[in-house]
Amino acid sequence: MELGTWQPAGNAPPPDPAARPLAIEARGLVKRFDGFTAVDGVDLSVPEGAIYGVLGPNGAGKTTTLRMLLGIIDPDEGYRRVLGSERPHEVAHAIGYLPEERGLYPAMKATEAIAFVGALRGLPLAEGRRRGRALLEEHGLGYAADRQIRQLSKGMAQQVQILGCLVHEPRLVIFDEPFSGLDAINQGKLEKMMRGLAERGTTVIFSTHVIAHAERLCDGIAIIAGGKVPFAGPVDVARDRIPAQVRLETRAPDGPWRAALPADARHDRKLDGSSFFTFPLPETGIEPLLRALIEGEAGILSLSIERAGLHDAFVAIAGEAAAAALEAAPEEEQRR
Amino acid sequence: MTIHQASGRLSTLAAALVVARRDFGAVLFSRAFVFFLLGPLFMLTITIMASGVGQSVERSASQPVLGVAMSPADTAALRQSATRLETALDDTVPQLLPIEPGARAPGELLRTNSTRVSAVLTGSLAAPVLTGPAGLIDEWRGPVALLAAAARDGSPRAYPEVHLAATAAAPGPDERVGRMRTAQAGQTLLFLLTMLLAGMVLSNLVEEKANKIIEVLAAAIPMDSLFLGKLFAMLGVSFVGIAVWGTAGGAVALAGGRSLAELTAPAVGWPAFIALGITYFAMAYLLLGSVFLTIGSMASTVREVQTLSMPVTMLQLLVFFFASFALASPHAPLEQAAVLVPFSSPYAMLARAAEEPGLGQHLLAIGWQAAWVALFIRFGARLFRTRVMKSGPARGRGWFRGRRAAA
């Protein structure tokens, strides 16, 4: 594999992730700190070559889970298998990791920093320097190759660290909040890079506060709240957890047809006198409802059925409080 | 040793060397290293200032004395010439002490040594006879000839032949006492070197924590490797320091006409003693360093490290005093305890190297100390993983300010 070329490599679509062997398998992971249960029975199954998102608000147990998968800390209970090994450090040479708290030695030059991270993963320093320079060139950072990390902007330093995660050509990459600290353009580049990695068969796991990233990128997600995983599986399955939403606009605000709408349908009056209703698609389907509306002369102005988004799924699975905390997290981060 | 295995996975030692290489380079090219190199200079200055007075008193008390058992006229002339030449010849002219001629044979006089003389001059100014320890009379032969010639003639052109009569038993410092002094010197040097390093080791992991790179390291390599690598790096730095100090100190000593020969040769001989000294220094450093690294790793800031420095220094002092105290009673229970306690073992064993021949016990001791180093590193790494590598919102960080919850 040629590193640094993050463009799609081939025309053949990757095989169905569910059919691939597991890059990560965790069962019943538990971690307690001084009587506080940070992670409480987490199960994860991540197929090789998948892009997998770990979603949850601050304090949910995301980082602790990732640290257990990496072998930085050991679980108090449970079982983990990473790239076929129950001891993650045994396969450390095949793993890349970007921690939530970014850090490099400030006095190191960018190329040296990448080579050093590669050396920690078993890549000879000389080869690491060569690849590091090539990676920097490829990502438009060639001019910074001989600059010290302290001379780079925060975003540039983060990009150098991301390249350090990849210099040894890992089979599994774990990013903890990779998008935080990057501007919109670099976030887009990172998304593209992650897709490129997955297309080459590299498994990518990342935690995020931003559901939109997970929705765009992930084959599968795990929602973590309160140290537990109420959902883990494909994004489509998460979205199917809640029924599609019906959005109906009528000329008449009321009438006998209202009996066909669910009792908890949300009703908003618009300034022009029309009414707007939002409610889950009834189990009986749309046809009986449509018949009742027409026969009751509701005056249908518009009717749409929308599949639930990942955000709605998250709210339904993890609860309103967790969703609010998740959405507040980036703001908190910025305040800090 | 091959660093990279075929699979790409690093062994514990290879991973430690990656860390050691980085740290070694970073420390060696830092400003802190310059201060590290200057450290002994400050210590030496303070030591010289503190011991200056005591040394001058000791010097005057221990100046060698030449007993003169000649005729009264010759003795008086000799003393006059000594007074005249003292300024010009400085310390080479021994202090003269008149002795009644013929009262006792010179050899007997030296054996009883009631007059604290180191050698005795008999005969006449034309044919002086110098009796005393072989090395000493050989050294005094020239000055005595000069004094005798000057006593006979104010501007001497010819020097009399000085006959030497070496005594069988050389008096002077007792060999055991001399070796004890060598042992003390070795222990003190060991203590000073480990003390210099302690501060640097204590703050060793703070840099990683401050730069937030610790998690990158912890995810890639076992903590044992990280600890070992940091210890190796500092050991390497200290060896560079020793090389610099040794070269500079040796050059100064040679320029001042001093040498190791002034210390009594250790029982194992100088080459083995120096080799053991380096090994025991490494072991003393690794033992203390592994503990300090563990303690220091719990600290998050330089301030916390400074808070830790005092008890750590006290611990070092305790170890040093324990080993020094045990030195006085070889093979007594106290000395054996000092040999067995891992922290004092290198000091006690270095003292044994000065006092007792045989290298077998040293191999055993080095193995014993190495086992403790491995144990401390394993324990420290485990403690670090369980206490420090937590995550989440900072309710408090580090050893002193509570615990952290999960993210």
- Whether B107 and B22 share a structural domain: no
For residue A96, the chain B residue with the least C-alpha distance is B220
Q: Please give the single-letter amino acid code of residue B311.
A: P
Using the predicted structure, report yes or no on whether residue B254 has a pLDDT greater than 80: no
Kindly determine whether residue B214 and residue A58, on different chains, have CB atoms separated by under 8 Å. no
φ, ψ of residue A9 in degrees (nearest 5): -85, -40
Which of A99, A75, A39, A88 lies closest to A222, judged by CA? A39
Tell me the per-residue pLDDT of A16-26, one tens digit each, with 9 for 90 and over: 656 678 999 99
Q: Please give the single-letter amino acid code of residue B67.
A: G
For residue A37, the chain B residue with the least C-alpha distance is B406
Structure tokens given for A84: 């076929």
Of A58, A71, A117, the CB nearest to B407: A58
More confident residue, A188 or A10: A188
**Whole-angstrom distance, CA of residue B232 vs CA of residue B238:** 10
Q: Could you tell me which residues come within 8 angstroms of residue B70 by beta carbon, excluding any fewer than 6 positions away? A: B78, B101, B121, B122, B123, B124, B125, B128
Using the predicted structure, report yes or no on whether residue A85 has a pLDDT greater than 80: yes
Residue B267 falls within a domain, yes or no?
yes
Using the predicted structure, report yes or no on whether residue B257 has a pLDDT greater than 70: no
Residue B288 falls within a domain, yes or no?
yes
Contact A214, A55 (CB under 8 A): yes
More confident residue, A335 or A301: A301
Q: Please give the single-letter amino acid code of residue B154.
A: G
What is the model's pLDDT at position B5? 37
Please identify, among B145, B166, B187, the residue that sits at the C-terminal boundary of a domain.
B166
- Whether B74 and B33 share a structural domain: no
- Whether B137 and B210 share a structural domain: no
- Whether B327 and B279 share a structural domain: yes
Nearest-neighbour CA in chain B from A306: distance (Å)? 34
Tell me the per-residue pLDDT of A31-70, one tens digit each, with 9 for 90 and over: 988 788 889 999 999 999 999 999 988 788 899 999 999 9
Structure tokens given for A234: 């494909």
For residue A332, the chain B residue with the least C-alpha distance is B393
Q: Report domain A245-306's class.
A: alpha beta
Confidence of residue B258 (pLDDT cuts 50, 70, 90): low
Please identify, among B166, B200, B224, the residue that sits at the C-terminal boundary of a domain.
B166
Residue B188 falls within a domain, yes or no?
yes
Category of A41 on φ-ψ map: left (φ > 0), alpha (ψ -120 to 50) or beta: left
Q: Could you tell me which residues come within 8 angstroms of residue A291 by beta carbon, excluding any fewer than 6 positions away? A: none
The pTM assigned to this predicted structure is 0.70
- Whether B342 and B225 share a structural domain: yes
Residue B48 falls within a domain, yes or no?
no
Please compute the mean of the pLDDT values over residues B330-341 and round it to a whole number.
84
What is the model's pLDDT at position A76? 92
What is the model's pLDDT at position A23? 94
Contact B97, B68 (CB under 8 A): yes
Q: Residue B131 is part of which domain span?
A: 64-166
* Chain A residues 86-125 within an 8 A CB cutoff of chain B: 89-95, 97, 99-107, 116-117, 119-124
Least confident of A50-59, B42-51, B182-191: B42-51
Of B8, B10, B211, the CB nearest to A106: B211
Nearest-neighbour CA in chain B from A33: distance (Å)? 7
Residue B392 falls within a domain, yes or no?
no
- Whether B289 and B344 share a structural domain: yes
Which of A53, A16, A330 lies closest to A216, judged by CA? A53
What is the model's pLDDT at position A10? 38
Nearest-neighbour CA in chain A from B405: distance (Å)? 7
What is the model's pLDDT at position A15? 57
ipTM: 0.79
- Classify the C-alpha dihedral A253-A255-A261-A263 as positive or negative: positive
Q: Which range, A136-150, A275-289, B237-251, is most confident?
A: A136-150
Confidence of residue B323 (pLDDT cuts 50, 70, 90): confident
Kindly determine whether residue B22 and residue A105, on different chains, have CB atoms separated by under 8 Å. yes
What is the model's pLDDT at position B399? 40
- Whether B142 and B188 share a structural domain: no
- Whether B91 and B222 share a structural domain: no
Average confidence score pLDDT of chain B: 76
Residue B393 falls within a domain, yes or no?
no
What is the model's pLDDT at position B63? 63
Confidence of residue B261 (pLDDT cuts 50, 70, 90): low
Residue span(s) of chain A under CATH 3.40.50.300 come to 17-235
Kindly state whether B25 is in contact with chain A, defined as any CB-CB distance less than 8 angstroms: no
Contact A4, A138 (CB under 8 A): yes
What is the model's pLDDT at position B116? 63
Placement of tokens 């991270």 in the chain = A117
Q: Which 3 state secondary structure label does DSSP give B164?
A: strand
For residue A118, the chain B residue with the least C-alpha distance is B220
Tell me the per-residue pLDDT of B97-131, one tens digit each, with 9 for 90 and over: 888 777 777 777 776 655 567 788 888 888 888 88
Confidence of residue B175 (pLDDT cuts 50, 70, 90): low
Tell me what percent of the residues of chain B surpass a pLDDT of 70: 78
All residues of chain B having their beta carbon less than 8 Å from the beta carbon of residue A123 are 8
Domain count, chain B: 2
φ, ψ of residue A36 in degrees (nearest 5): -95, 125
- Whether B80 and B203 share a structural domain: no
Average confidence score pLDDT of chain A: 86
Contact A139, A121 (CB under 8 A): no
More confident residue, A262 or B52: A262
- Whether B159 and B302 share a structural domain: no
Packing angle, helices B302-327 and B270-298, rounded to 10:
150
Using the predicted structure, report yes or no on whether residue B407 has a pLDDT greater than 50: no
- Whether B190 and B295 share a structural domain: yes
Residue B398 falls within a domain, yes or no?
no
Sequential DSSP letters for A43-87: EEEEETT-EEEEE--TTSSHHHHHHHHHTSS--SEEEEEETTBSS
Q: Which 3 state secondary structure label does DSSP give A20?
A: coil
Contact B316, B191 (CB under 8 A): yes
Kindly determine whether residue B221 and residue A36, on different chains, have CB atoms separated by under 8 Å. no
Please compute the mean of the pLDDT values over residues A66-92 and round it to a whole number.
93
What is the model's pLDDT at position B398? 41
Tell me what percent of the residues of chain A surpass a pLDDT of 90: 53
- Whether B156 and B193 share a structural domain: no
What is the model's pLDDT at position A327? 64
Of A92, A102, A164, the CB nearest to B221: A92
Contact A223, A55 (CB under 8 A): yes
Tell me the per-residue pLDDT of A193-238, one tens digit each, with 9 for 90 and over: 999 999 999 999 999 878 889 999 999 999 998 888 988 989 888 8
Least confident of A115-124, B23-32, B377-386: B377-386
Residue B4 falls within a domain, yes or no?
no
> Per residue in B251-288, is it b (16+ CB within 10 Å) or e — as a string?
eeeeeeeeeeeebbebbbeeeebbebbebbbbbbbbbb
Please identify, among B141, B166, B191, the residue that sits at the C-terminal boundary of a domain.
B166
Q: What is the CATH number of domain A17-235?
A: 3.40.50.300
What is the model's pLDDT at position B401? 40
Least confident of A8-17, A307-316, B331-340, B373-382: A8-17
For residue B383, the chain A residue with the least C-alpha distance is A73
Which of B178, B328, B356 lies closest to B263, judged by CA? B178
Using the predicted structure, report yes or no on whether residue B55 has a pLDDT greater than 60: no
Residue span(s) of chain A under CATH 3.30.70 come to 245-306
Using the predicted structure, report yes or no on whether residue A333 has a pLDDT greater than 60: no
Using the predicted structure, report yes or no on whether residue B51 has a pLDDT greater than 70: no
Please compute the mean of the pLDDT values over residues B150-171 and round it to a whole number.
67
Residue to mutate among A31, A33, A129, with most B CBs inside 10 A, is: A33
Placement of tokens 């991301």 in the chain = A162
